[in-house]
Structures are given as C-alpha cells and as structure tokens.
A = this chain, B = another copy of it.
C-alpha cells in the first residue's frame, strides 16, 4: 500500500462542500464522515480535513512510517482551510488555530488523544489577542494548549502543570481560575515552558508545523495505547480498523459570555422520550463538558425546571441560537433517521457544529426510539428491529428494586444508567476486579472515573461517582456496558485512603453493602431486594416485530422448573439443553451419586441407580409439566466426575461413613478415578458405554415421567434424548440401543407409548468431521460449542485464565472464544458438521447449546449456517430472539443485494 497507488490520504470538508460523506465511515472514521456530511448539508461546520484510517493501518504495517505523499496532502488541505477561514497557520497577525482529534469507525469515547488550540506560540498568541480583542482569552488558550500538548504529545505529566498552577494560585490567594488575569497567565506560561524544558531537555515547540505533526503522531499512537486496546477488546472492535485524524479550524466557546459549548441528544438517551436533552457551559471549551469537571446547565427550560436548577437554560439564555440549534436537530434527525448525539460550540453568538453521530442509548431508550421512529414514519418495522442492539436488552431483563421492600436512602445522584444493583463497596478498579474474580458482587465508588477504570467498571455490578454529569465518562461507559450507574452524587465524601465514604454524617466502609437504582439516582444502605422486570410496551412491540422475521427457534438451557418457567416467560420455544448432572447436586442426592461413582461393580451401581430413579423421574415430571407442548432436549449424564467426588479428609470421612465403607477403600477408589485431564477423560457417552445401566436408569426416568405427564394431556412433551461427547457412530449406536430397549420395556410395562427422538451433541472435532456417519443414527445434532471450542483450540476453559487475558490484550485473539464463537476455526467445524449431517439426513434438526447460543454475533453465524434453533440461558432468550431476527433480516438483505 503506497501513496501513489492509493492516491488519496486526506479528505477536506467545510466551506460549503466536502470530499467525503457519511457513507465513508470505514475510511474517514465516524467523526470525519459526519463532519463531511454536515458540511454537505450546509450546516455551519468549521472547515478542516480528515487523514484516513488507511494511513493509520499503513503507519502500523510499516513500522510507524507514514506513506509517501501524506505530508504534501496535509499541506494542501491545510491551505484550503486557510482559504476558507481567511486565516493563516502560524501567521502572527491572523493565525489559524486547529484542533487535532481522533475519529475511529466505531465511537471510542475518551480513549484516544485530542489536542486543541494548536498553532499557538509566543508570537501567534499575541495575534490571537489582538484579533479577539481579549488578551486574557488568548493567553488562557495558550496555557491550555501547552498543558494539553505537553501532556498528550510530549509526555510531560499532567500533574506538573497542575502543581505550577495550584502553587501560583495559592501564592496569590486565588481560588478560581477566572481570577487569573492575562498577565497571570503569561507568568504561568513562562513557568510551564520552563517545566517542559527541564523535563525534556528541549524547549516547548514553537513551530506550528512541528506542533501539528507531533499531534498527528500522538493521535495515531493513541490507537495502540492500553486503554484503547482494552476498550476495543470489550467492544469487539478489531485493531485493523485503525483511526482517522481530524484537523479542524478552532472555534471558541470560551470567548466570553456570548460564547458557549455543549452536547445534546435529539431524544432522551436514557428513556427514549422525544425531548431534546443536553447540557452546555457558557464560556468554556468542549472538553470541559465531557470531562464532567463543572456541572453544566440544561438546554431547555423544561429540563431546567424538572431538575430544579437555578442556572438559565440555553433556551432562555440565547433564545435565537437555541432556535437555530433546534432546527439543526430536526434537520439531522430527518437526514440520519435516528437519534443524534451532537457537539456544538457558540462563538460570540455564532453556532458551529462540531460533531454528530447516532447517539448511544439505553436498551429502554433504544426500544422506544425504534418504535417511535417507526410510528413517525421515519423507519420501517424491519429497520426498527435492526436498530436495537440485542446485547443491550440485557439491561432490561434483570431485576429492579422491589417497590415494597424497606429501603434506607443515603444519597441521591443522577440517574446515569438504569437498573438496580447491590454490592460490596470498593474504591478502586483493581479491587473491583479482584473481588469480582472471586465471585463477589461489588459496587465501584469513585470521585469520578477515567478510562483507566474501565476494567473495574466492567467487573462491578454498579458504579457510583461523586462528580460529573449524565454525559460524563462514568455515565457513558456504564450505559454502554449495561451497568447500573448513579453519577454526580455530590454529597459523598470519599476518604483518600480508600477506606470509606461519608454522606450526611453516615459512614459506609469498604466491604459494606449498598444498593443503587440507576433509573432514579438513589443510593441505599444495605442490599435491597429486587424483582423481575416487566416486559411490555415498546419491548413487546419490538419483540413481536422481531418474531415475525425470525427463522430460527430460540430455546433455553434449563433444568429446574423455575428456570423453565422463566425461560418460557421470556418466550423460549423449548428446552435445548437439560443437563441432567445438574439435577444431582442437591444435598439429598449427591451422596447417592457418590455411591454410584464409587461402586466397583455393576451390582453396586445398580443399587445406587435404583435410589436415584425416583428423584430423576420426579424432576422430569415437573419439567415436562412446565414445558407442556414444547420440545425438551435432555442430555444424558455428562458429569465431570471430580465435581461430584469428595475432597479433603473430612469430606471423605463423611462419605465413607454415609456409604458404610472404609476410608481407605474410598481413598483407593478416588485415586483410581483420578484423571490427568478430566476434560479429555472418562466422561460423556464413554460412561454410558462402560456402564449402560446409567443410561438405562435415565432413559427409564424420562419415559416413565413422559408417560405420566402425557396422561390426558393434549400436547405431551416430546423428549429429545441427547447423547454427549460422541466421537464415533458406534458409540451412539450402543447408547441408542440401550435407550430404545428401555423404551420398549417401559412402554410394555405401562401399556402406552410416547414419541421420542435420539440425537447427539456435536462437541468434538471428530464428531463434526464424521457427522455424515453419525447422522445415520442421530435424529438431531446439537452443537456443543463450549467443548468444541476447548478441543478445537486445545484450550481448557478451566486453565485458560493463566494466559487467555494476555492473549486478548496482545490481540492474538480478538475475542474470548468461550464468549463469542470463533467463526474462523470452530465455526468451520460447525459448518462442516451441519453440511455433512444434512447430506445424509436432509431434515436433521440442528441446534446450538453452548454459551454461544445467547451471543448475537454467534447467533448471526448460526443463521448463516442454517441451524434450526439456538439455545441459551433463560435471561438471554429475548436477546437471542432479537439477534436471530436481525440475522435473518440481514441475510435476506444480503441475498437480495446479491441477486
């Protein structure tokens, strides 16, 4: 990829026309494409240009060298900006200042670097002063530039500048920055420059060109910083996409009381209500709002009144500009046909648009906006279905606070991300991650959050901050992750040593339980009980539309009647995986299971199995009752044996006593059962082959329960009996023979029959590769992608923890293959298995029952392979329904496009 071959590295925008447009996101990044599009729409966009993502890719492919021709292209684009603005970069009398910002294909808020006011130096600053007629503004801008450039580009620590400024203010008893005069800023600037000289051994760069390339380097460089990598990993953004760099003429929201800067959503991103929603700060630069340092004002009068704020809204303070902005909102919504997230600046009363993009929203808002846009005639039903991120539904599917439960409110903040959650209080991201890894539920409490806290926010059940607004880092990230979040709870006083916080005279120590309601902003002491969500209204409407388009069935993985009921409530169309070994963990059963495992003869096993039969039968009866009329796939015993066995002296002694055996004997048997690699050991159908009496007992329980529940029922359950861990057809033949013989026996005893089928998990590479053989016997396949992932990668899920995180960090794997199906490798085996299965038995029923059955990307893959159903955990059923509908719609669109 060289400059000559590619030709175009830089795209100009502004001045009434653009070289790019909104469809070019992959090349220009989201910000660049939308700036171009807004300029094309005739909206007031400061002119600028975008350096493409291909430059980023070339930069990293070519050992951090830029492609040939880039320098010239940038120079040319910059001179265009000079033409439009009538200013000149580096000119001492009429200097052009620019911002340099990242802009990737997908939004990565706050992850990468930004530099504002670039082009200022000891000479241009005085030009700016004269031009603006405001010397204080000019030197304030310059000191901001040195601070930002010093930190971001030159690597001088942030605190170096902060300390200089604090000392300067303390010495003069200044409290607020606004107290500093132009002269003060000049002195601060001198100290800043001295600090840079001392830190780096060279002066702060005065050459605007050097400044510009330094900033471009820094932005491209920030694509590979740790927090960007983490964000990409959590959000499944490939490193190969790269970022674009946007260089744009500066406009100033900090040129006095007629200047302002703000952010807005065209609808409420939390509820979806069709009301302008946003915040602004008078006399401020853009980053001040997002950073959440000053608490901003409302855009509309209505919002101000609702929040009981005394600060004038933009609607009241600058009614004409507000009207102009409001018209822009309508124009953008009509154009993009979606809710927009907008950044704007008002420079001495003149409005400038700095960004628009489809706004992030809560699941609830996504549903409402999709339904409303459809009602408004802006989008079709199909589009509405495609507009809702299935994974985000997760937020709606979890419990909220029980309204009748007693609660002890200790504080209130902003309702930044909906949902209720309880957890142990921790004060650092590391603590949050550590405790979460121990399986504990934690609540991360911070003054404010920063990108460095992402791993802790991911680990936490909920997030509380003492500072920052609804668009602060914490709020944006929490909504994206579906974590409950209360922001800006200003009454919290958090101890610096991370031991506790106090609020209104009460103390909450690390480790104490608190509960938050992200929909109200309330914080409660202790763990408040929660209740299941009610799913209706917009949710029901979108799901109804989705179900119209869905081809694949959605089933649930469930063993208990409660799980089955939950799943059915969420719309599950059957059970895709009933793991019978999970039915044996109860206290009254586990000793019988142990007796069976420890038995050394068929006779001994049969004694234990006879005791297990009534338990198992009654479990199935309850499950069949709950799932009447729907199919249930029951997997025969696939125990990781060691999970059932006693560990430690005391437990072994207990078991020996319970079984009436010598401790020594039990230990010997345990030792003979020990396996080097239990995952690759004597499990699955291998047990049923060795001990057919186990399969026989289970088949009997299924058939007896099935006949009992079929009595007088119009729509009896149809059990699908699934044999696990098959690697050869003959294994399945043997186990199927046991099942069929047992069926014949039970049917003869009871004088009644039941329809059933026998199939297998395809969870070993060999099963997928020989699926054409296995399908001669198997009446259905269920792809067990958990085990299939383990064996295809040669990677134990239990042991991957020691290196898989590093693999994700180093981008060796884009995603955790146990979370989202590895389509390139494991997916090939699923496709091979499906194809070979159908080659022999054209109507063979095909499903998936690994964790992947609830993952939207994996569901989309399953649609492509033509599976008949996916099966997932009960709470993910709605997600799977929506994802399956989307996959079906997308596939149809692709087919239409290619035909």
Interface of A with B (CB < 8 Å)?
A: 675-682, 686, 689-690, 725, 727-728, 730-731, 734, 763-766, 769-770, 773, 787, 790-796, 798-799, 802-803, 806-807, 810-813, 822, 824-826, 828-829
Contact = CB atoms under 8 A, between A and B. Distances in A.
A790 B791 CA distance: 8
Given A680-B794, A680-B795, A773-B824, 7 more contacts: A677-B796, A681-B802, A682-B802, A730-B810, A730-B813, A734-B810, A765-B792
A825 B766 contact: yes
A799 B791 CA distance: 16
A812 B680 contact: no
A690 B731 CA distance: 39
Contacts of A822: 766
A676 B730 contact: no
B689 A794 contact: no
Contact of A794 (B764, B793, B813): B764
B766 A826 contact: yes
Contact of A676 (B679, B769, B792, B812): B679
19 contacts: A675-B798, A676-B796, A677-B677, A677-B796, A679-B796, A680-B796, A682-B802, A686-B803, A689-B803, A689-B806, A727-B794, A727-B825, A728-B812, A728-B813, A764-B794, A765-B792, A766-B793, A766-B825, A769-B824
A810 B734 CA distance: 10
Contacts of A794: 679-680, 725, 727, 763-766, 787, 791
Contacts of A798: 675-677
A681 B799 contact: yes
A682 B803 contact: yes
Nearest to A687: B803
Contacts of A764: 792-794
A829 to B, nearest CB: 7
Q: In the assembly, how many copies of this chain are there?
A: 2
A681 B812 CA distance: 16
Contacts of A811: 730
B675 A828 contact: no
Contacts of A825: 727, 765-766, 769-770
A727 B812 CA distance: 10
Nearest to A729: B812
A218 to B, nearest CB: 26
Contact of A765 (B689, B791, B796): B791
A828 B806 CA distance: 32
A812 to B, nearest CB: 4
Contacts of A728: 812-813
Contacts of A795: 680, 727
A613 B420 CA distance: 57
A676 B791 contact: no
A796 B677 CA distance: 6
A812 B725 CA distance: 14
A115 B799 CA distance: 61
B690 A803 contact: yes
A791 B792 CA distance: 7
Contact of A812 (B675, B689, B796): B689
Given A689-B806, A770-B825, A791-B794, A812 B677 contact: no
Contacts of A828: 769-770
A53 B829 CA distance: 38
Given A678-B676, A764-B793, A796-B676, A734 B689 contact: no
A802 B796 CA distance: 21
Contacts of A679: 676-677, 680, 794, 796
Interface centre among A676, A763, A796, A807 (most CB of B within 10 A): A676
Nearest to A677: B796
Contacts of A826: 766
A799 B680 contact: yes
A799 B678 CA distance: 8
Contacts of A689: 803, 806-807, 810, 812
A679 to B, nearest CB: 4
Contacts of A678: 676-677, 799
A670 to B, nearest CB: 14
Contacts of A727: 792-795, 825
